[in-house]
Every structure is written in structure tokens, then in C-alpha cells.
Amino acid sequence: MEEQDRSSQSRLPHVLIFPLPLQGHINSMIKLGELLAIAGLKLTFLNSHHNHERLVKFNNIAAHFERYPGFQFKTITDGLPLDHPRSGRWFLAMFEDTMELKIKQSLREVLVNSSPPVDCIIADGFSGFALDVAKELGIPIIFF
């Protein structure tokens, strides 16, 4: 029992960063994630499949973050069909009408299955549903 207590005390905090799936929100959260990774925290950056593919294609994001061994990317669906144009102009209406429920379910699944467990969530201020999931699972949340 004492050995288990020591190992959990020596474990680095695991932070999950969860931006709204819009490029400007993602960019600022990536910068925050990098600062936390420099500080040595374990980080999971949760992004939509669509936006992560764009980051990989246009920014070579994986190569940039490979220097931070505690930084990992995970992706979830944004709830839209693959051929959807994802226009920023109509995004908030789409988000509330269609995307929020699917993203909320995916967020919960990632948190429940995370190893090591997530100690804190840093979520976009526009994703109020993340608070519901955090409360349900007993995980502290900070809005950014």
C-alpha cells in the first residue's frame, strides 16, 4: 500500500487540453500546451480528427512536439460528415445543433479510458458541456 502511495505521489499531473474545433482556438491552446510541456507536465491535446489532419498536413505538428515526451495528441469526431465544409460562418449554430452531443460523448469516453488518469481539464470557454463531463467524473476543470 505504501509503495502504491509513493508511485502516485511521484506521478506527474496529467492535463487534458480541449479546444473548440476552430483554428484560432486550437492555435492558442497548442501554445498553452507547449508551455505546460516545457514545465514537464504530462499533456493530452484532444482535437477533432478533421483539425488534427490539417495540423499534420500544414504544420508538421508531430515533429514539433516529439521533443516533449509527455505530450500526446488524441482525436475525436466533431460529429460532422467527412465531406462537410465546416464553414466558420455557421459553426456555432452547427455546434449547438449537431456537434455538441457527439463531442460530449467522445470527451467522456477519452477521460474514462485515459491512462494515466486525467488530473485536470483545460477546456475552451465556449465548451460549457465540458463542465458537465468534468463534474460527472470528478475532474477539476479550468476554462481558457
**Could you list the active site residues?**
25, 124
DSSP string over 85-142: ---GGGHHHHIIIIIHHHHHHHHHHHHHH-SSPP-EEEE-TT-THHHHHHHHHT--EE
Neighbouring-strand partners of residue 71: 43
Cα Rg of the chain, angstroms: 16
Tell me the three state secondary structure of residue 16.
strand
Residue 29 grid cell: 491552446
